[in-house]
Homo-oligomer: A and B are copies of this chain.
Amino acid sequence: MAFPWPEVGTALADVMTPMPVIDEDRLAANIARAQAYMNQHGLAFRPHIKTHKIPAVARAQMAAGAVGINCQKLSEAEAFAEAGFEDILITFNLLGLERLSRLRALKDRVARLTVVADSAVTVDGLAAVPGLAVMVECDTGGGRCGVQTPEEALALAERIVAAGLRFQGLLTYPAVGGAERVEEFLRATISLLTARGIDCPVRSNGGSPDLWRAHLVPSATEHRAGTYVYNDRSMVRAGECGPDDLAMHILATVVSRPTPTRAVLDAGSKALTSDLLGFSDFGEILGLPGARIVSLSEEHGVVDLSACEGPLPAVGDRVRIIPNHTCVVSNLFDRMVFHRNGLVSLVEEVAARGTVW
């Protein structure tokens, strides 16, 4: 299906809606600011490409000084290997013959490939890729994957070594603001590893919400973050960025004004996603204080205007929305439109869209 993507030079006001658009200057500033912070604190920085899924953006992150990239799924890593990336960390337990065979092929293409494991089953499978660099994922409060104790981390590191793999270190994705707990877990584990003579070169911490507190985990050598590159409404709420750091907005059009207090947008869950991230509405409409996007169907967003003061939008008016969560928006569009000075400056394929395998 060939859609009429906007040409470079098109005014934003003429871009069809609904459309996410990226401010190139803000994007560049976000990349530079995060890298400068990491440099200042002597931390390696490894951007998570899930937020943008675009090689050109990852290249800008690498050019700024990133040590490599972070992918979440094997197919995401395959897409970035195809684009020439040579240092890739996949933060996912890779299981099964089909995946391990693809992983072997990927290792031959990528100079520095690292994966994670949090169980003996995963490590035993990875043994099919001799010499692969493997980190032990640790659960330091995030409540997702990861070993639960330093003792478990040690046991898994020993199993990695015994399996003919290369133990690369420890990795965590903490609950927001969990610096002390992360530091405690890392330090205790390093101590156990040292006692057994196992080197632990990389200690990788993560998260955009924790980005500006990364220096509070002295045992970490590396930080990973994704959302910081575009930022979103949840990051503003968390105090991690200001409104001027928001690089992504969703352009939308009012297509119906059925009642004095209701507007309907052409942006629904296929443009904004249903991610609430703790908000009670599906994004913030700029310049329309009090308006709330109260419900989404796939192609419509229903806006409650009853708390608005001032002029209300009419049918055909365009609005600009701050999305709750940018990463999930990237996954819905085949291409991403960038702009500078009010004009479309670049239209890039979202190369790793749909990579769930």
Whether A328 pairs with B269 at a CB distance below 8 angstroms is yes
The CA of A220 and the CA of B298, in the complex, are separated in Å by 25
Of B82, B139, B258, B332, which one neighbours A145 at CB under 8 angstroms? B258
A290 at the interface (CB under 8 A from B): no
Q: 8 Å CB contacts to B: which residues of A1-26?
A: 1, 3-4, 14, 16-18
Interface of A is mostly: loop
The CA of A20 and the CA of B276, in the complex, are separated in Å by 24
The CA of A4 and the CA of B103, in the complex, are separated in Å by 13
Residue on B with the closest CB to A357?
B16
Counting every copy of the chain, the complex holds 2
Whether A121 pairs with B315 at a CB distance below 8 angstroms is yes
Given contacts A253-B96, A274-B275, contact A1 B298 (CB under 8 A): no
Of B148, B253, B352, which one neighbours A1 at CB under 8 angstroms? B352
The CA of A259 and the CA of B95, in the complex, are separated in Å by 19
Give the Cβ gap from A122 to chain B, nearest Cβ, in Å.
Answer: 7
Give 1 or 0 for each of A203-218: 1 = CB within 8 Å of chain B CB: 0000000000000000
The CA of A270 and the CA of B78, in the complex, are separated in Å by 17
Give the one of A18, A72, A147, A266 with max B CB within 10 A.
Answer: A266
A37 at the interface (CB under 8 A from B): no
Count of chain A residues with Cβ under 8 Å from any Cβ of B? 71
Q: 8 Å CB contacts to B: which residues of A253-279?
A: 253, 255-259, 262, 264, 266-271, 273-276
A146 at the interface (CB under 8 A from B): yes
Whether B121 pairs with A300 at a CB distance below 8 angstroms is no
Q: 8 Å CB contacts to B: which residues of A87-112?
A: 92-93, 95-96, 98-99, 102
Whether B258 pairs with A139 at a CB distance below 8 angstroms is yes
A298 / chain B contacts, CB cutoff of 8 Å: 50, 72, 327-328, 331
